[in-house]
């Protein structure tokens, strides 16, 4: 950030009165520009003993597999955002279930939330952000080709919970280290 989005003057980093950390502050109009973490919302779409994954058509992690997920938009609830992303990325018809995982990723200033979802029709229509969308049994999951650690962790929890008799909500922190590019 170099310029004030309210008045166009250059901004400087300084600690505002009563605050305790540097912010982008505009000396012209007085606006303080706070920067905060973003939420990523997704689903664990279940069809019998299979899970729906999408292969990414965009960076980061082009060509890797992911649960359908993306940034939360203003004006929507977390569940609405997760449903929207699943429609946009997989073209899947789903019924939303309960919140299943919350994973903090402080290094990249994100919190990822995944909801359980029931796939209603096994025909998919992947959007422009996905190369393909298909169902995987646990044995078929491409563990070494998953795009993000939060996806790997969420899938592990899902298959553990299923074996243990039922899904419960999980919360953890991923200290994110990007994998090498393909």
Measured distance CA(44)–CA(65) in Å, rounded: 13
Give least dist CB 62 to its own copies, A: 15
Give least dist CB 86 to its own copies, A: 15
Is 141 in contact with 51 (CB distance < 8 Å)? yes
| Largest pairwise CA distance in the chain | 60
Question: Given the complex with its own copies, which of 30 and 142 has the nearer CB atom?
Answer: 30
Kindly state whether residue 77 participates in binding its own copies, applying the rule CB under 8 A: yes
Is 107 in contact with 125 (CB distance < 8 Å)? no
> Which residues are CB-contacts of 16 (< 8 A; sequence separation ≥ 6)?
23, 25, 32
Measured distance CA(2)–CA(12) in Å, rounded: 8
Question: Given the complex with its own copies, which of 36 and 163 has the nearer CB atom?
Answer: 36
Kindly state whether residue 180 participates in binding its own copies, applying the rule CB under 8 A: no
In sequence order, what E strands does 59-153 have? 65-66, 69-71, 94-105, 110-119, 130-137
Tell how far CA 110 is from the center of its chain: 8
Is 44 in contact with 96 (CB distance < 8 Å)? no
Kindly state whether residue 75 participates in binding its own copies, applying the rule CB under 8 A: yes
Site string for its own copies, 103-122 (x = CB under 8 A): -x-xx-x-x-----------
Q: Which of 95, 98, 132, 140 binds its own copies (CB under 8 A)?
A: 98
Is 78 in contact with 99 (CB distance < 8 Å)? yes
Kindly state whether residue 149 participates in binding its own copies, applying the rule CB under 8 A: no
Site string for its own copies, 3-42 (x = CB under 8 A): xxxxxx-xx------x-xx--x--------xxxxxxx---
Question: Given the complex with its own copies, which of 128 and 165 has the nearer CB atom?
Answer: 128
Give least dist CB 106 to its own copies, A: 5
Binding site for its own copies (CB under 8 A): 1-8, 10-11, 18, 20-21, 24, 33-39, 71-80, 88, 98-99, 102, 104, 106-107, 109, 111, 128, 169, 171, 173
């Amino acid at each position: 950030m170099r310029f004030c989005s309210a008045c166009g003057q250059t901004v400087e980093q300084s600690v505002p009165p009563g605050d305790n950390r540097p912010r982008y502050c505009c000396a012209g109009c007085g606006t303080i520009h706070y920067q905060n973490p973003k939420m990523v919302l997704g689903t664990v779409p279940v069809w019998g003993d299979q899970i729906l994954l999408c292969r990414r058509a965009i960076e980061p992690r082009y060509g890797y597999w992911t649960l359908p997920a993306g940034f939360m938009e203003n004006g929507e609830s977390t569940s609405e955002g997760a449903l929207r992303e699943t429609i946009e990325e997989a073209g899947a018809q789903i019924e939303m279930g309960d919140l299943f995982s919350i994973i903090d990723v402080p290094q990249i200033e994100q919190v990822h939330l995944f909801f359980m979802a029931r796939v209603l029709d096994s025909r998919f229509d992947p959007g422009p952000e996905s190369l393909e969308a298909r169902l995987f049994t646990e044995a078929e999951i491409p563990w070494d080709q998953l795009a993000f650690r939060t996806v790997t962790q969420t899938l592990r929890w899902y298959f553990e919970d299923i074996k243990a008799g039922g899904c419960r909500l999980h919360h953890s922190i991923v200290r994110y280290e990007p994998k090498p590019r393909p």
